[in-house]
Structure 1
Amino acid sequence: MTRKSSSLVVGGITAAALVLTGCAGGPPAPDGSALSDGKVTIGILNDQSGVYRDLSGPNTRVAVDMAIADYREKYGDEAVATEIEVITSDHQNKPDVANTQAQQMYDRRGADIILDVPTSSAALAVAEVAAAKERLFINVTAATMELTGASCNPYTFHWAYNTEMLAKGAAGVVEDGGESWAIVYPDYAFGQGMNASFTAAVEAAGGEVLESIATPFPNDNFSTFITRAAAQDPDVIGIMAAGGDLINFVKQYNQAGMQESTTLAVGLMFITDIHSLGVDQFSGTTFTDAWYWNYDEQNREFADRFTQLTDTRPTFAHAGNYSAALQYLEAIQRAGTDDADAVIAELEGAELNDLFLRNGVVRSDHSVIHDSYVARVKAADDVEEPWDYEAIIATIPAEDAFSDVNPNCSM
């Protein structure tokens, strides 16, 4: 793909700005003239009130503010981004709302970049707007492969995870005796992608998917779908829902006594899901994780800072948004400007290591690969402190965790 030069639109100030004073090194001038409108505006677009609120939601702003603070501390008077503003909006998990909010963020509110955007259908809508407006979009919290597939574009990056990465853990479940599966998934882009990726992973490992069952999204009553899945007499019931829908499903699965006859496989798990329902409800469940707060001292230090501000531990979505915001600002620093094409040139091909990205690489298809992890939920008796619910049992190297570069999306 060939990028056209971008012309950024000035928007009004709608949120308090974090100001970095002093002149930048190199070409930028002290008055911030290296910036398109005298400041960098970071937009956060996510679910502020629905089923994905806890895993991302308002606390993503905290993670982004932490990245800005770290950038300011590192560069001080040499910072190119002399003024930084953060704006937020709620897309309500609806693609039409996400489209409208993205257009308003770019055009009326002056966003240079949009971050986060859970709900794959909403993320795909934002990617279309980003391409049309020639503004950056770093998606952190949607899983659809289409962001670096059929809907790829030069202005969109897929930062944290995707459905194929999440499905890597399925092979281990099959090898442990879970050969026959029934998969329950939400009937929109995320769930459809998860069903396809997990079916492929199960079959590649020698297992069989007996039935795939689509459910409405969002949904609070899974009893009929659980009964239908159980009727197949599978070794494993795989649930591909996330956030509040996952919590509802697992609660009803356990109430039905299904854990006595089948193994539960969870496609996408966040630490907030385990905390909300209780570790005993997920104990023994194995899944693929993108990041864990208590994996090492670097992660724990970040988590302790985050907890002081939020009274909760960060999910991998929060850590991923911190990383995306920080690396975006670092790219501005290297480019000496916030011009979209100049920043993209600094990101493409970059080898990155931070608290979220271990052995990270920004590939030519704008998929960001990094080490990922096989996690198992601890038994209640093994939990030694609040929120320490996971045991990391294996590391999946970056090049193995993600599929090959999509040649049709080479930018």
Structure 2
Amino acid sequence: MKRRLVSTFAAVAAGTLLAGCGGGGPSSGGGKISDDKIVLGVLTDLSGVYADLAGANSVAAVEMAVADFRKKYGDKAVTDDIEVIKADHQNKPEIANTQAKEMYERRKADALFDVPTSSAALAVQTVAGQVKKLYFNTGAATTELAGKTCNPYTYAYAYDAYMLAQGTGAAVAKQGGKNWYTIYPDYAFGQDMQKKFSAAVTGAGGKIVAGDPTPFPADNYSTFLLKAKAMKPKPDILGALQAGGDLANVVKQYEQFKLKDAGIGLAIGLLFDSDIKAIGADKLAGTSFTTAWYWSLDDEAKAWADRFKDKTGVRPTFVQAADYSAATRYLEAVQQAGTDKAEDVSKKLDGAEFNDFFARNATIRAEDHRVVHDAYLVKVKDPAKATEAEDYTEPVKTIPAAEAFDAPSPDCSMS
């Protein structure tokens, strides 16, 4: 793709600003902004089972980040032309591949964000490496993004299967849920969740007595739930490793088939506020889960969530909060670098330590591009204790960043 120099005046202005705000002035990129503007692409699920936890409101979160960046820098910004574009990957890796190429190459996206569904995320990661453009994953949990498939252009930003398992799997096993029957969606996310939960449960003294893959997406889990009731000996825990609309179906059918009355508890691998809203807080009250963030964490988180609700009408999920955070980190790095050239922007990101309303005690690891930060073991609040609508989360403990995420994978090579 052809690149054009910004005007001499804009380059000098950007250099003056950057020197003044500690960015060290423009990098060797010389103040270059490709096509004279920055394009941020949100590749997400706009219509399927993950549309509520990501979807249109992930686009809104990135738009908020752009608006705040403009407000912060005004006419001193490295460019005042920033566009947000979107596309629907339909939770299919082949469509994600096509859409990513379209967004990077024809629509001139400088960075992509979001991408729920691990198989789709892995496809986007491949494209990002091919076209040498940045991709910030906030929606997919597979650890492979910062593991064996890692590349210099992908940042694993919000959470992963290891984080979820180390919180929920270990905690439930230590609380007496020793024997687990797990069901997991049969694609990259579910397969990784099964592997990580097995390790966490076993490490805490428990055992996975059986685990079955389930279709994705799916609306009928009766075969698996009836199998759980018929197992001898019965498992202590049904580990539901689905997410979004699929998880809502599992929980509703767990109640329908009365597994709790049969002495089989429920452990949920990944839970969002949008899921709690769909299922009902009364049905999930007391359920433990691990999260990267929740909107009532503290005053700073709540203040941002209030702004998000003013814009969208709902409280944000942690994926949507992470989209804002990641887009802000990217724009700040461009501002510091004086260019949107991916390699120069990465130099400003790699090794950075930061705190914002989403990520606490955060570090962007240079060796694998995993963003590590504090995580939280929480439980669904009894609706009687809620102080307002969508007040679903009760804290149990903070999991420090060093414990929440695994060490860098030896399988990751950034070369």
TM-score, structure 2 normalization: 0.92
Partner of 1:191: 190
Any runs of at least 4 consecutive aligned residues in structure 1 with deviations exceeding 4 A, and if so which? Answer: none
Give the number of aligned pairs. Answer: 393
Is 1:366 aligned to 2:392, yes or no?
A: no
Partner of 2:42: 44
SS of 1:43's partner is: strand
Aligned pairs for 1:52-71 (under 5 A) are 52-71=50-69
C-alpha contact (below 8 Å) 1:269/1:287 kept by paired residues: yes
SS of 2:182's partner is: strand
| Shift in CA distance, 283/83, structure 1 to aligned 2, threshold 3 Å | same
C-alpha contact (below 8 Å) 2:150/2:413 kept by paired residues: no
Q: After TM superposition, give the deviation of residue 230 of structure 1 in Å.
A: 2.6
Comparing 331-340 with 378-387, greater Cα deviation is found at: 378-387
Unaligned runs of 5+ in 1: 1-7, 11-19
Is 1:392 aligned to 2:395, yes or no?
A: yes
SS of 1:230's partner is: helix
Kindly provide the amino acid, as one letter, of the partner of residue 214 in structure 1: P
Aligned pairs for 1:5-404 (under 5 A) are 8=1, 23-26=13-16, 34-168=32-166, 169-232=168-231, 233-260=234-261, 261-363=263-365, 364-404=367-407
Is 1:406 aligned to 2:409, yes or no?
A: yes
Query: For each residue in 1:305-355, what CA deviation from the matched residue of structure 2 results, as whole angstroms up to 9, or x when unmatched?
Result: 010111100000010000000000010011111111000111111102111
TM-score, structure 1 normalization: 0.93
CA distance in 1: counterparts of 2:402 and 2:259, whole angstroms: 36
C-alpha contact (below 8 Å) 1:266/1:286 kept by paired residues: yes
SS of 2:51's partner is: coil
Query: For each residue in 1:118-165, what CA deviation from the matched residue of structure 2 results, as whole angstroms up to 9, or x when unmatched?
Result: 000000000000000000011001000110111111101100000000
Kindly provide the amino acid, as one letter, of the partner of residue 312 in structure 1: V
Partner of 2:21: none
Q: After TM superposition, give the deviation of residue 23 of structure 1 in Å.
A: 4.4
Partner of 1:17: none
CA distance in 2: counterparts of 1:171 and 1:187, whole angstroms: 23
| Shift in CA distance, 9/392, structure 1 to aligned 2, threshold 3 Å | farther
SS of 2:377's partner is: strand
C-alpha contact (below 8 Å) 1:184/1:229 kept by paired residues: no
CA distance in 2: counterparts of 1:191 and 1:129, whole angstroms: 22
CA distance in 1: counterparts of 2:223 and 2:410, whole angstroms: 42
Query: For each residue in 1:33-71, what CA deviation from the matched residue of structure 2 results, as whole angstroms up to 9, or x when unmatched?
Result: 620110000000010000000000001111111111111
RMSD across aligned C-alpha pairs, in angstroms? 1.8
Comparing 297-306 with 229-238, greater Cα deviation is found at: 229-238
CA distance in 1: counterparts of 2:413 and 2:334, whole angstroms: 22
CA distance in 1: counterparts of 2:37 and 2:404, whole angstroms: 37
SS of 2:127's partner is: helix
C-alpha contact (below 8 Å) 1:241/1:267 kept by paired residues: yes
Query: For each residue in 1:254-280, what CA deviation from the matched residue of structure 2 results, as whole angstroms up to 9, or x when unmatched?
Result: 111112222110000000000112101
Q: After TM superposition, give the deviation of residue 223 of structure 1 in Å.
A: 0.8
Comparing 374-383 with 191-200, greater Cα deviation is found at: 374-383
C-alpha contact (below 8 Å) 1:375/1:393 kept by paired residues: yes
SS of 1:373's partner is: strand
Q: After TM superposition, give the deviation of residue 216 of structure 1 in Å.
A: 0.3
Kindly provide the amino acid, as one letter, of the partner of residue 138 in structure 1: F
Q: After TM superposition, give the deviation of residue 9 of structure 1 in Å.
A: 5.8
C-alpha contact (below 8 Å) 2:372/2:402 kept by paired residues: yes
Q: After TM superposition, give the deviation of residue 173 of structure 1 in Å.
A: 0.7
CA distance in 2: counterparts of 1:256 and 1:290, whole angstroms: 31
Give the percent of matched residue pairs that are identical in Structure 1 and Structure 2.
Answer: 52
Kindly provide the amino acid, as one letter, of the partner of residue 58 in structure 1: A
Unaligned runs of 5+ in 2: 4-9, 17-24
Q: After TM superposition, give the deviation of residue 380 of structure 1 in Å.
A: 2.3
CA distance in 2: counterparts of 1:108 and 1:240, whole angstroms: 37
